[in-house]
Amino acid sequence: MRVAGAVKLVVAVSIFLLTFYVISQVFEIKMDTNLGSLFARSALEAAARPTKPPRYKCGISKACPEKHFAFKMASGAANVVGPKFCVEDNVLMSGVKNNVGRGINIALINGKTGEAMDTKFFDMWGGDVAPFIDFLKSIQDGTVVLMGTYDDGATKLNEEARKLIAELGSTSITNLGFRDNWVFCGGKGIKTKSPFEQNLEDTVLRESKICLLNFNNKYYNINEEASSRVPALPTLHEASLEAQDQIQGPLVLQLITQKH
C-alpha cells in the first residue's frame, strides 16, 4: 500500500509539473506575441503621427542661413492691436513690452551687428511732429530703420517729415493717410527706394511675409529673376524677396539680413 501511494504521489506531482510547464510556455508565447504587436503598433502610430514643424527665430517661415539676422515686423491693427518688431528672436517693440504707442513706431538696428540701437514712438494725432523730425535727422548712415503705424500715423506728418522718411527708401510715405496700416524697412544712406514696404488703407489687412537674404551688395527680387536690382545700404548686401500666402491680420514684414 505504501509503495502504491508513493507511486501515485510521484505521478500526481509529475502531472502537475508537466501541466505547469506547458501552461507557462503557452503564456510566454502569447506574451511575446502581444508585446511584439504592441511595439509594432506603437511604431506605426509614431510614424503616422505628424511631426511638429520646427520653430525659427521670430516665428519666420524658414531658418536663416549662417551669418544672417532674422527680422519680423507687424503693424498695428486699427487702435486695437499694437505693432510688433522682432530681431533675432528678440522682441524689440510690442504691446506686451508696453513700449508701443499711437502714431509711428520706430526701431533702429545696427546694420553691421544687428543689435538694437533705439526704439521710440511718436504720436502723429495729438502730438508734435518736431521731435520726430529731430529724431529722423539724428539717424546715422548704415542704420537699418524699421517703422510701423499704430492707429493714426499720418495726421501730423508734414512735408519735411515725409521727405526724411522717403530718404530712408520709402515710396508709400507720401500717400500715407489717416489710420493706414503701414510697415517699412529701410536705412539711412540707401541710394534708391527700398522694396520692403507695405501700406494698406483697410483696417483688416492681409499678412505679407517677406524673406530677405543678403549677398554681393545688391538687392534683387528672387521671383523676378534679379530684374529689380538697386543699390543697398553700405552695410547690407544682396536681398531676395519671397512673398508667402496671405491671410487676414495685421500687416507683417518678415526679413532676414546678413551679419558681417
Predicted pLDDT of residue 147: 93
Percent of the chain with pLDDT over 70: 57
Predicted pLDDT of residue 210: 39
| 213 touches 65 (CB < 8 A) | yes
pTM of the complete model: 0.64
| 230 touches 191 (CB < 8 A) | yes
Predicted pLDDT of residue 25: 55
pLDDT digits (tens, 9 = 90+) for 184-226: 888 898 887 887 788 876 443 433 343 343 322 233 222 222 2
Higher pLDDT, 86 or 20: 86
Q: Which residues are within 8 A (CB) of 251 and not within 5 positions of it... i.e. 6 or more apart?
A: 74, 75, 148, 181, 182, 183, 198, 199, 200, 205, 206, 207, 208
| 99 touches 222 (CB < 8 A) | no
The angle that helices 129-138 and 159-166 make with each other, rounded to 10 degrees, is: 30
DSSP, collapsed to helix, strand or coil, labels residue 160 as: helix
- Give the distance from CA 258 to its chain's centroid: 16
Higher pLDDT, 254 or 84: 84
Higher pLDDT, 78 or 134: 134
pLDDT digits (tens, 9 = 90+) for 41-90: 666 665 566 677 788 888 877 777 766 777 788 887 777 788 888 888 89
Predicted pLDDT of residue 217: 28
CB atoms within 10 A of CB 1: 5
- For residue 167 the three cell numbers come to 530718404
Q: What mean pLDDT is predicted for residues 160-167?
A: 97
Q: How far is CA 195 from CA 172, 220, 232, in A?
A: 11, 9, 10
Strands (E), 100-139: 103-110, 116-122
Across the chain, what does the average pLDDT equal? 70
- For residue 84 the three cell numbers come to 510688433
| 174 touches 216 (CB < 8 A) | no
